[in-house]
Amino acid sequence: MVARKQHAAGASYPLRAYRAWDAPTRWFHWINAILVATLLILGTAMLTGRWFGVGDEGTHQLQRIHVVFGVALTLNVLWRCYWAFRGSRSAQWRAVLPGGHGYWKDLRAYLSAFVAGHPQYYIGHNPLARLGVTVLFILLAVQILSGLTLLGIDQLAPPERWVGEPTAQWPVGTPIPYLPWAIDWTGADAAAIRTPIRLAHLYGFYLLVIATIQHVVAVITTELREGGDLVSAMLTGWKSLPGRPEDENKTDVGPRRRPARRRH
Ligand code: HEM
């Protein structure tokens, strides 16, 4: 679809709509955003609750709810990993992870064009966004692996130590099925094993706070600077670009005409 858009400087240019994101990728993105935001809020509440008078039972309840959201996040990320092999071109690993033929040259060209004020356009992730998204995936993997390990360690912990038993239950109080990597605390120095993993989960949390803020700021900056519609593209799948995309010939999903609306 071709429309015209008023540029900030006053000039107008033709906008062309491209099919950017397939439906499973968009569902993953918004479910992931909701789950990560909720886990960040629950994590903050677990860490600071005591300052505001939240007692042991309240903290345990927060931990159980946290685990439910953590398992949902794990399933959603696993689904996305599968879809990176099966999905459309812009959803695949080679369009998401940095690297591959000419990647660093493309990154330099993108950065110098951005700084010079005449940005390059991409239907999928631009080379800088690929770096940012990869950092987010790595941090999610750290949280998932350390979180599931903590769950296994806590599962057989005696109730009087750490938060053992309460964490190993769903919010309704039914026990979580026995995890194959659950550690028998009898004779094992489980507390010592737990400490570095808990620290990895905690520092992963801090880094994820920074990376999430950086992600939102990057989307807003790119949208303001490049005049595209990144946020609505993740809702509708269609991205409107005011210039020829650099990855036009690399994608199997664009450009296509937006389907005409039916008139009744
Ligand atoms: C966005 C992802 C996540 C964030 C931001 C997050 C954040 C946190 C935070 C801040 C804590 C408290 C750490 C502490 O007391 O030192 C925590 C604890 C915990 N998290 Fe996560 N987490 C995430 C994902 C997960 C996942 C995927 C699981 C796995 C099911 C999980 C399971 C746990 C467990 C078992 C604890 C231990 C509770 C405790 O012993 O205090 N988390 N998480």
Comparing 138 with 224, which gets the higher pLDDT?
Answer: 138
* Nearest protein CA to atom 29 of ligand 1, as residue: 147
* Nearest protein CA to atom 7 of ligand 1, as residue: 43
Mutating to test ligand 1, I would choose from 150, 167, 197, 198 the residue with most ligand atoms within 8 A of its C-beta, which is 150
pLDDT band of residue 16 (cuts 50, 70, 90) is confident
Residue 169 in tokens: 């239950």
CA of 217 to the centre of ligand 1 (A): 25
pLDDT band of residue 167 (cuts 50, 70, 90) is low
Angle between helices 127-155 and 23-48 (to 10 degrees): 50
What's the pLDDT at 174?
Answer: 66
Asked whether the predicted pLDDT for residue 35 surpasses 80, the reply is yes
Predicted structure pTM score:
0.85
**Separation of alpha carbons 136 and 208, rounded Å:** 7
Percent of the chain with pLDDT over 90: 52
What's the pLDDT at 262?
Answer: 44
CB 114 within 8 Å of CB 131: no
Residues with CB under 6 A from ligand 1: 36, 39-40, 43, 46-47, 63, 66-67, 70-71, 73-74, 143-144, 147-148, 150-151, 154, 163, 167, 198, 201-202, 205, 208
Mutating to test ligand 1, I would choose from 205, 207, 208, 209 the residue with most ligand atoms within 8 A of its C-beta, which is 205
Asked whether the predicted pLDDT for residue 128 surpasses 90, the reply is yes
* C-alpha distance across the termini of the chain, in Å: 21
CB 65 within 8 Å of CB 42: yes
Superfamily per CATH, domain 24-236: Transmembrane di-heme cytochromes, Chain C (1.20.950.20)
Query: At 247, phi and psi to the nearest 5?
Result: -100, 25
As separate numbers, helices (DSSP H) first and strands (DSSP E) second, the chain gives: 8, 3
Min mean pLDDT across 73-77, 132-136, 180-184 is at 180-184
**Separation of alpha carbons 119 and 255, rounded Å:** 19
* Nearest protein CA to atom 37 of ligand 1, as residue: 150
Mean predicted confidence (pLDDT) in 171-187:
69
**Separation of alpha carbons 198 and 182, rounded Å:** 15
Q: In the β-sheet with 2-6, what is the strand arrangement from edge to edge?
A: 2-6, 12-19, 238-241
CA of 147 to the centre of ligand 1 (A): 5
What's the pLDDT at 250?
Answer: 65
* Nearest protein CA to atom 43 of ligand 1, as residue: 43
pLDDT band of residue 145 (cuts 50, 70, 90) is very high
What's the pLDDT at 175?
Answer: 65
Asked whether the predicted pLDDT for residue 50 surpasses 50, the reply is yes
Mean predicted confidence (pLDDT) in 66-94:
95
Name the β-bridge partners of 5.
13
CA of 259 to the centre of ligand 1 (A): 44
* Nearest protein CA to atom 32 of ligand 1, as residue: 147
What's the pLDDT at 11?
Answer: 45
Mean of pLDDT over the chain: 83
CA of 40 to the centre of ligand 1 (A): 9
Asked whether the predicted pLDDT for residue 260 surpasses 60, the reply is no
Asked whether the predicted pLDDT for residue 75 surpasses 90, the reply is yes
Which atom belonging to ligand 1 lies closest to the Cα atom of 74? 27
Which atom belonging to ligand 1 lies closest to the Cα atom of 209? 5
CA angle (98, 27, 210) in 5-degree steps: 50
Buried b (16+ CB within 10 A) or exposed e, 229-253: beeebbebbbbbbbbebbbeeebeb
Mean predicted confidence (pLDDT) in 229-245:
89
pLDDT band of residue 45 (cuts 50, 70, 90) is very high
